[in-house]
Amino acid sequence: MTKLPKIVTSRKKRVGRGYGSGQGGHTVGRGQKGQKSRRKIGVLFEGVKMKKSFIKRLPLGRGKGKFKPKNKPIIVKIDYLNLLTSGATVSLNSLIDGGIVDKNVAYKFGVKILGGGVLNKKLKVELPISKSAAKQVEKAGGEVLKNDK
């Protein structure tokens, strides 16, 4: 006969389900009156009328995705470009083929190369690149074909 494992965590209290819930019965630990005793309060509720709410303080955004984060490009440190062959052209496809970035994410957000490490190979860069990374590419004997940012 096998022994069952000991359960350390206790179950969540079922608040507001009568005397058997372990919280009394009548107000079940929610206090007497008020919004919190009656229903769940929304995420954006701040409870104070005096202070401007968080949403009102944000700049006006229009459309469906106004609460979604802004999409920024994937950052690739210049160290990772050493994985490519010398004399290669650094493009979105070459980074995907080299296994440096994921295909779906790269096409969705784009890629930017930043300085971080040392580049030892001569490469041609066709992607957005920072100034410090561009200097390192030129120092290694490579060239930057276009620099968007």
96 lies in some domain: yes
How many structural domains comprise the chain?
2
pLDDT in tens, 49-84: 667 777 778 788 888 877 777 788 999 999 999 888
Q: Are residues 82 and 136 in the same domain?
A: yes
Query: Under 8 Å CB-to-CB from 56, ≥6 apart: which residues?
Result: none
CA-CA-CA-CA torsion sign (13, 14, 19, 20)? negative
The CATH number that applies at residue 137 is 3.100.10.10
Q: Are residues 100 and 138 in the same domain?
A: yes
Which among 14, 32, 31 is positioned nearest to 22, based on CA atoms? Answer: 14
91 lies in some domain: yes
Q: Are residues 37 and 79 in the same domain?
A: no
- This prediction has a pTM of 0.54
Is pLDDT of 104 > 70?
A: yes
CA-CA-CA-CA torsion sign (52, 58, 63, 64)? negative
Question: Which residues span the domain enclosing 48?
Answer: 14-63
Is pLDDT of 149 > 60?
A: no
82 token code pair: 């050493």
